[in-house]
């Protein structure tokens, strides 16, 4: 379990006697005890009664820290010119204070913490939130048929599902809402719409801003710059942040329904393989669209589907 050190990264080691000691070697021994690369530990101060080291990491695994005092002192005892006295000890603040735990305390803490972390992870992975996007949905020009459909599907899959609302066609707004959902502990975040090639389609861009390595396969490619196409085509997105998964689906309801087969296979309240899911959704949608008459390559007509728009069912 990774623990944020909250910028409290100094170790002060008392009870050492130095005589022409190689401080770089001393730092290496501390790094070895903490299972860190040698470059991650530096001696930053030497005083008559102690030395001070800095850990150049923002976070460490609990197992790297808890109960490591004895390992640190034993390692330092092997450094030529450095004597570890019988009353030597490691002093540190914050999370790093766990170094001073004895072996039994450390073992019990690790067991309890890992059990709690597992419970928290399972709870997060069971929580899902669904967002619609687009002014036409927000202004009730068309009915949002995607969100109820996805919420029912995810409930059947064992998720606790919330509707996140209808988002504006704005990359900053969409990213902010996804970030907020991540902060609130949702393990699955789905948006519909905003994956097209127009200048108002930003769902995939919001996801790649959070996860630059998101899987974003193309569904159909256009001639960029023709008609309303400012991008090279339609693509869906599956990104991740920690254990949470973000999925950007198209707007047309029949394509969301088609994608649901992949969602059922991959979204089972556990960790999700983003590349496998994205590739399967993309394959389903490519096959579906291959039978349609696309004129996107030259111009866009009123009869074509717009993947930047959502849920094509008009309200009365």
Can you tell me the distance from the alpha carbon of 11 to that of 264, in angstroms, rounded to the nearest whole number?
49
Q: Which residues pair with 35 in a beta bridge?
A: none
Which element (helix H / strand E) includes 308? none
Can you tell me the distance from the alpha carbon of 229 to that of 305, in angstroms, rounded to the nearest whole number?
13
pLDDT in tens, the chain (316 residues): 777 788 889 999 999 999 999 999 999 999 999 999 999 999 999 998 899 999 999 999 999 999 999 999 999 999 999 999 999 999 998 888 999 998 888 889 888 988 888 888 999 999 999 999 988 898 889 999 999 999 999 999 999 999 999 999 899 999 999 999 999 999 999 999 988 767 778 899 999 999 999 999 999 887 665 556 567 688 999 999 999 999 999 999 999 999 999 999 999 878 999 999 999 999 999 998 886 644 443 333 333 345 555 554 433 2
pLDDT tens digits, residue range 46-55? 998 899 999 9
Can you tell me the distance from the alpha carbon of 197 to that of 234, in angstroms, rounded to the nearest whole number?
6
Nearest to 64, CA basis, from 87, 45, 37: 37
Please report the pLDDT score of residue 295 as a whole number.
42
Can you tell me the distance from the alpha carbon of 266 to that of 270, in angstroms, rounded to the nearest whole number?
9
Structural domains of the chain sorted by starting position, each given as residue range(s) with its CATH number in brackets: 2-116 (no CATH), 126-290 (3.40.980.10)
Can you tell me the distance from the alpha carbon of 88 to that of 308, in angstroms, rounded to the nearest whole number?
65
Q: Retrieve residue 246's tokens.
A: 């973000």
Q: Retrieve residue 163's tokens.
A: 């509707």
- Tokens 């699955």 — which residue? 188
- Tokens 């390692």 — which residue? 75
Instruction: Please give the radius of gyration of the chain, using alpha carbons only, rounded to the nearest integer.
Output: 27
pLDDT tens digits, residue range 59-83? 999 999 999 999 999 999 999 999 9
């Amino acid at each position: 379990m990774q623990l944020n050190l909250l910028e409290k990264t100094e170790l002060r080691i008392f009870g050492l006697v130095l005589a022409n000691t190689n401080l770089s070697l001393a730092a290496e021994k501390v790094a070895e005890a903490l299972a860190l690369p040698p470059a991650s530990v530096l001696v930053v101060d030497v005083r008559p009664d102690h030395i001070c080291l800095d850990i150049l990491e923002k976070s460490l695994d609990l197992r790297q820290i808890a109960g490591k005092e004895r390992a640190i002192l034993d390692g330092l005892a092997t450094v030529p010119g450095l004597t570890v006295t019988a009353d030597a000890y490691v002093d540190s603040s914050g999370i790093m204070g766990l170094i001073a735990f004895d072996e039994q305390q450390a073992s019990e803490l690790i067991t309890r913490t890992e059990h709690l972390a597992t419970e928290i992870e399972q709870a997060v992975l069971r929580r899902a939130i669904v967002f619609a996007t687009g002014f036409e949905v927000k202004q009730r020009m068309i009915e949002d048929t995607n969100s109820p459909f996805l919420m029912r599907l995810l409930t059947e899959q064992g998720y606790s599902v919330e509707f996140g609302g209808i988002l504006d066609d704005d990359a900053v707004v969409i990213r902010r809402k996804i970030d907020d959902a991540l902060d609130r502990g949702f393990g699955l975040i789905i948006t519909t719409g905003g994956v097209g090639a127009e200048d108002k389609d930003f769902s995939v861009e919001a996801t790649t801003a959070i996860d630059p390595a998101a899987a974003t396969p193309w569904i159909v490619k256009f001639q960029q710059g023709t008609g309303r196409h400012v991008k090279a085509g339609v693509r869906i997105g599956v990104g991740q942040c920690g254990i949470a998964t973000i999925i950007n689906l198209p707007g047309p309801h029949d394509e969301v329904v088609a994608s649901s087969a992949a969602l059922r296979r991959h979204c089972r309240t556990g960790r999700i393989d983003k590349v496998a899911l994205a590739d399967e959704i993309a394959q389903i949608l490519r096959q579906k669209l291959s039978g349609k008459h696309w004129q996107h390559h030259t111009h866009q007509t009123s009869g074509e589907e717009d993947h930047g728009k959502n849920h094509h069912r008009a309200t009365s």
